[in-house]
Amino acid sequence: LVASSYHALLDNPVLLTKPDTAGFWVANTRVTLAVLDLNGTSRAADFKRELEADMAAVARFLPKLPVDHYTFLAMVGDFRWAGDILFSGKPSIGGIIKVARSLGSQGFGALEHNTSSLYYLGDFGSGERMPAELRVEKQLLDAAVHEFMHVITPLGLHAPAIHDFDYINPTMSQHLWLYEGVTEYFAQLIRYQGGRLTQQEYLDVMRGKLAQGEKFPNDKFSFTEMSRNVLDKPYKDAYMHVYDRGAVMAWLIDAQIRGTHQNQRSLIDVIMALHRQYGPDRPFEEAGFFDAFCEVAKTPGLREFFAKHVEGREPLPYSEALKLVGLEYSAQGSEIKAINPLDAGKNDLKVKVTNLGMTRVVKKVGPEEWAGLQLGDEVAMQDLVAARDAASESTMKLPVTRSRTRVVLEVPVKTETVARAHYLSVANEALWTAFSTRP
Ligand SMILES: [Zn+2]
């Protein structure tokens, strides 16, 4: 193997192992995936099934896939021992400390390249109580579309500081809103438009990003100031906000472009036009990029939006922008929800929280108990959340572990009105449908 330059060497990771591979075509692109699982589990076939669906969604979203071949390389570490400690029912403090020490230094994550991406995932076993987020496939899927979309930006659309990256004295670009924010925004939108996320799941994800993004220290520095100085304190502590506040910024920008152009033009059209104009070999001008972007976007008010909310420190105008895609935003909203039958304040019982907060065990049942719960019943929080979300007007199906057997209780539904910060609801069906479907 020969690399033409140091840059090319870094851009082409190699996975040398006994083969566990799979491949498929999506539109004009050959996708290959290769997995090294340190405990020997063969995973390529499972990964392929999931990735194929995600990549089909990407192909529907983009006018043309930007590469003719692409490789996903994944290494899966063996953390079943940690899964056993955490999800066995009675984790000891010593065990938890051991897990935290070990996992904190592991560096799970992913990195994008021009025609590949590399993943380090963890196998936490298949314990019944393991949160769904920790499944190996879920870890891969949470990152795969995002990493693939990096082929567009920053790899195909970037500033000189990235083009001629100085590995010894790096200068950072102010455009993290574009490189990470837009990329993460697209990753979620692609999965939603492609049917990989339901409307509720998509709105929950974006609401979560909105809430988390509000923690960005906007009073101390702006998003571009953070980006330029992201290697230094205190800016680097705010880096993770590129994935929440950055993605929300991209959402608001998309909404404004759609609003101006009656949904005939959206953010991806603008990004692809810029991608054609610049491309991997021609960096844009760092300082003039907001103007270059607005020239292509042809959206009145957008330059002011960047000046005030991305370069500046003003709060993001959620209501105004999201209205353009048919959503109503309220800083404090409320919704009617099925009452949590394990809430000791609302049911006649006592519960104990175990398993790092992930399980509730019924410790005492009084005469007024109304849900059918019994002494010793164990309920996983993820089951409780799913049951409340899926509850119909009259019943909720709640899975419970009762004397080591899983039974599903038919719990009568009682409702309450709960306050929710950053509440989003669909207010204009036509606009929301246009947003939800790729023309
Ligand atoms: Zn990224």
**Residue finishing a domain among 93, 118, 148:** 148
Question: What distance in angstroms lies between residue 245's CA and the mean position of ligand 1's atoms?
Answer: 14
Residue 341 CA to ligand 1 centre (angstroms) = 40
Q: What separation in Å is there between the alpha carbon of 49 and the centre of ligand 1?
A: 23
Give the Å distances, CA to CA, from 212 to 127, 388, 399. 30, 23, 30
Centroid of ligand 1 to alpha carbon of 230 (angstroms)? 15
231 & 311 share domain: yes
Asked if 31 and 51 sit in the same domain, the reply is yes
Strand stretches in 87-189, DSSP E: 109-112, 116-123
Distance 153 CA to ligand 1 centre (A): 9
Q: Same structural domain for residues 320 and 345?
A: no
**For the purposes of burial, counting CB atoms within 10 Å of the CB of 337, is it exposed (0-12), middle (13-18) or buried (19 or more)?**
middle
Smallest Cα–Cα separation from 138: which of 123, 127, 117, 148? 123
DSSP structure string for 350-397: EEEEETTTTEEEEEEE-TT--S---TT-EEEHHHHHHHHHH--SSEEE
Dist. CA 146 → ligand 1 center (Å): 6
Summarised one tens digit per residue, pLDDT across range 87-103 is 766 667 777 777 777 77
Q: How far is the CA of 110 from the centre of ligand 1 (A)?
A: 8
CATH of the domain at 358: 2.30.42
* Domain membership flag for residue 420: no
Within a domain: 279: yes
Please check whether residues 84 and 189 belong to one and the same domain: no
**């809103």: which residue's tokens?**
177
Q: Where are the alpha helices (DSSP H) in 280-362?
A: 289-297, 302-305, 318-322
Q: Are residues 74 and 223 in the same domain?
A: no
Are residue 406 and residue 267 in the same domain, yes or no? no
What's the 132 CA to ligand 1 centre distance in angstroms? 22
Q: pLDDT value at position 165?
A: 85
Domain identity same for 82 and 136 = yes
Pick from 192, 201, 159, 194: which is nearest to 177 by CA? 159
The confidence score (pLDDT) of residue 335 equals 77
What is the 179 CA–ligand 1 centroid distance (Å)? 7
Q: Specify whether 264 is located in the same domain as 324.
A: yes
Does residue 73 form part of some domain? yes
pLDDT at residue 207, rounded to an integer = 95
Q: Of 99, 127, 148, which marks where a domain is finished? A: 148
Q: Among candidates 94, 51, 92, 53, which has minimal Cα distance to 73?
A: 51
Residue 396 lies inside a defined structural domain of this protein: yes
Give the pLDDT score at 224: 97
CA–centroid distance, 91 to ligand 1, in Å, is 34
Structure confidence at residue 314 (pLDDT):
96
Residue 180 CA to ligand 1 center (angstroms) comes to 5
Residue 148 alpha carbon to ligand 1 centre in Å: 9
Q: What are phi and psi of 395, to 5 degrees?
A: -135, 160
307 and 405 together in one domain: no
How many domains are contained in the chain? Answer: 3
Same domain, 166 and 261: yes
Please tell me the distance between residue 102's alpha carbon and the centre of ligand 1 in angstroms: 24
Question: What CATH number is given to the structural domain containing 434?
Answer: 1.10.390.10
389 falls within a domain: yes
In a domain, 323, yes or no: yes
Q: Final residue of a domain: which of 102, 128, 148?
A: 148
Distance 130 CA to ligand 1 centre (A): 26
Q: Decide if 421 is inside a domain.
A: no
Looking at the structure, tell me whether residues 283 and 392 fall in a common domain.
no
128: domain CATH number is 3.30.2010.30
Q: Ligand 1 centroid to 117 CA: how many Å?
A: 11
> Based on the domain organization, do 284 and 197 belong to the same domain?
yes
What's the domain range around 45?
A: 1-148
Residues of the chain with pLDDT under 70: 88-91, 128-129, 356, 439
CA of 249 to the centre of ligand 1 (A): 15
418 within a domain of the structure (yes/no) = no
